[in-house]
Amino acid sequence: MDKELKAIIKPYDNWFNDVDEETNLQAKAALLEFYRVLRKRKPDTRYEMGDIYHFRYLLFFVNIKKAFEEEKYLRVCNEFHSLMYYTPFFQKRVYNNAINILETYLEIKGG
């Protein structure tokens, strides 16, 4: 797991999102920083075939999308932290989806 990326979102890793609005907005700001740092990284060039859980990353993105739609930014951080832990995060299929969902829900124009 990328230590710099983890350090950005770990303070906001809270699935319950049971915090005040200010903390929730701080988590959103952390996600913007997470995106900026992630864009500087490059995806793996080698495709890594997985096991039966090869498409498990998609479940994380469903949860991330739902949390974004509910504006539960700490939950988004939690799901990204789990995604980085349980999946090959820098595989293109995961990396590109991470970039796309962050750009969409954080309304980032032109990457």
Give tens-digit pLDDT for 49-101.
766 667 889 999 999 999 999 999 999 999 999 999 999 999 999 999 999 99
* Per-residue pLDDT tens digits for 39-51: 999 999 887 776 6
CA distances from 73 to 16, 44, 85 (A): 10, 27, 18
Which residues touch 17 (CB under 8 Å, ≥6 apart)? 24, 67, 72, 73, 74, 75
The helices-and-strands tally (H runs, E runs) of the chain is 5, 0
d(CA 3, CA 71): 25
> Which pTM does this prediction carry?
0.93
- Contact between 39 and 99 under an 8 Å Cβ cutoff? The reply is yes
